[in-house]
Amino acid sequence: MNPDLRNLIALQDIEQKIAGLQKSISEVPSKLHVQQQQLEDLSRAHEQRVAHCHELAKRRRALEGDVDVLRARLTKLKDQLMAVKTNKEYTAMLHEIQAVETQIRSEEDNVLDIMEQMESIEGDLKGAEKELKARTEEIRQAIQRCSDSVPGLESELARLRGEKEATEALIESDLLSRYRRIADARRGIALAEARDELCGACHVRIRPQVYADLIKNQNLYFCDSCSRILFLREPV
């Protein structure tokens, strides 16, 4: 293969790796933010379930207190019933007693309903706490791995930048400038691999003579459509 072409291919491969590493490093803060947000959301959801359970317990105590008050009133009414002297007072007292008894039954039904809700929630909480603990540890490990990856990525980036400078030094300045112009105009991709007589970047067919010359790998040839430098990969 033409030495200049080989060096250009190596340079583009290095630059693509550098771009990938830079992207990975730049994405670390957002990944950490997302993972931290997931952790906070899990904790908040669990806290809300616990708070709901506490609220139900509070409502249950309040209702039970109301029932106790109603029972005391019912006892007092029944005592008063023995002291009434007229049928009218007796009938009115009976109606009041029945109303209190109905209210007691209603409040007791509400207490039972809350107890059933609490039983269900408390059962869910046990499983949720276990899941929260496991998921929290999983996310924390992911956060740690993400943070720990940065020094290695930066070290590899520094190595590749040194390799890039060394490779650029092997390329004649005019050719390197032309490579840069094409790369700037083509989103960083100045070279395109030719496959099946097509440009691998723009997929336009390469002229037969150009493709035949390209196979020889002796000179530099450019795509008539996208102006990228064409090349054929040598077998590994």
* Domain co-membership, 41 together with 155: yes
How far from 156 is each of 35, 143, 175, 179, CA to CA, in Å? Answer: 25, 21, 27, 24
> What CATH number does the domain containing 132 carry?
1.10.287.1490
Last residue of a domain, one of 131, 151, 171: 171
Last residue of a domain, one of 171, 188, 205: 171
- Domain span at residue 47 reads 10-171
* Domain co-membership, 88 together with 164: yes
* Domain co-membership, 211 together with 167: no
What pLDDT does residue 26 have?
92
* Domain co-membership, 17 together with 69: yes
* Domain co-membership, 24 together with 117: yes
Task: Characterise 17 by phi-psi region: left (phi > 0), alpha (psi -120 to 50), beta (else).
Answer: alpha
- What lies within 8 Å, CB to CB, of 217 at 6+ separation is 1, 2, 5, 231, 232, 234
| Helix spans in the chain (H) | 3-81, 87-168, 173-185, 208-216
Per-residue pLDDT of the chain (236 residues; tens, 9 = 90+): 788 899 999 999 999 999 999 999 999 999 888 888 888 888 888 888 888 888 999 999 999 999 999 999 999 988 888 888 888 888 998 999 999 999 999 999 999 999 988 888 877 777 778 888 888 888 889 889 988 999 999 999 999 999 999 999 999 999 999 999 999 999 989 999 998 899 999 999 999 999 888 888 778 999 999 999 999 876 54
Last residue of a domain, one of 148, 171, 194: 171
* Domain co-membership, 156 together with 198: no
Token pair, residue 210, equals 């150009």
What are φ and ψ of residue 226, in 5° steps?
-105, -5
Residue 77 lies inside a defined structural domain of this protein = yes
* Domain co-membership, 99 together with 208: no
Residue 217 lies inside a defined structural domain of this protein = yes
* Domain co-membership, 164 together with 181: no
Residue 3 lies inside a defined structural domain of this protein = no
Nearest to 214 by CA among 198, 197, 231, 195: 231
Q: Which residues pair with 194 in a beta bridge?
A: 199
Residue 188 lies inside a defined structural domain of this protein = yes
Token pair, residue 46, equals 């669990």
What pLDDT does residue 23 have?
93
* Domain co-membership, 209 together with 160: no
Residue 139 lies inside a defined structural domain of this protein = yes
* Domain co-membership, 87 together with 188: no
Strand, coil or helix: what is 56?
helix
* Domain co-membership, 33 together with 64: yes
* Domain co-membership, 190 together with 114: no
| Number of domains composing the chain | 2
